[in-house]
Structure 1
Amino acid sequence: MHKNNWACFLLILAGIVIGGFIGNLFPSTWLNYGQTFGLSSPIVFDMGIMCITFGLTIKVTVASIVGIVLALVIYRFL
């Protein structure tokens, strides 16, 4: 049986979001321990008539990693 890669991708994204949500529910526990990386200030291109701003920050926590693992386990059993 062929498994859909989009389903795996969506499950992983859902695991990240739910894990981040759980980490924010319990801010003083070990679940919210993690690292943030990315651009500290956004890059701005001002071209006179149009202004484009680029920025990306990713926060990896224990809860989001647990969410990814649970999503992969659920995908395996689908």
Structure 2
Amino acid sequence: MSRGALGKNNWALFLMLLAGIMLGGFIGNAAAGVSGLSWLNYGQSFGFASPIVLDLGILVITFGLSIKITIASIIGVLIAIIIYRLI
């Protein structure tokens, strides 16, 4: 297998995982108000509590990262992996 084809497959997997995380997060937020499906939005958030600011005088850069992992996003990742393996 050529190196280019391997890189393409890795990018496809990355994009599938990203889509699964985003779709799962969206479904988790939508299901938060539904009594029978509210467990899909259960999860943990981690990251920086406040952004880190780097002031260089003429340039100010602000770094921030916050990730919320929910049950729905984990299910989305698993579905993305299954779809990727089928393709």
**Superposed pair shares fold, TM > 0.5:** yes
TM-score by length of 1: 0.93
Secondary structure in structure 1 of the residue aligned to 2:27: helix
Instruction: Write out aligned runs for 1:1-78 (5 A).
Output: 4-28=9-33, 29-78=38-87
Partner amino acid, structure 1, of 2:20: G
Structure 1 residues not aligned, in runs of 5+: none
TM-score by length of 2: 0.84
Partner amino acid, structure 2, of 1:76: R
Percent identity between matched residues is 62
Larger RCO (CA within 8 A; separation ≥ 6): 1
Secondary structure in structure 2 of the residue aligned to 1:35: strand
Secondary structure in structure 2 of the residue aligned to 1:27: helix
Partner amino acid, structure 2, of 1:63: A
Task: Specify the structure having the higher radius of gyration (Cα).
Answer: 2
Segments of 4+ in structure 1 off by > 4 A? none
| Alpha-carbon separation, structure 2, partners of 1:6 and 1:47 | 35
RMSD: 1.5
Deviation at 1:31, TM superposition (A): 0.2
Structure 2 residues not aligned, in runs of 5+: none
Residues 9-39 of structure 1: per-residue CA shift (max 9 Å, x gap): 1000000000000001011400000000000
Secondary structure in structure 1 of the residue aligned to 2:80: helix
The structure carrying a bigger helix percent of its residues is 2
| Alpha-carbon separation, structure 1, partners of 2:11 and 2:59 | 35
| Alpha-carbon separation, structure 2, partners of 1:6 and 1:71 | 13
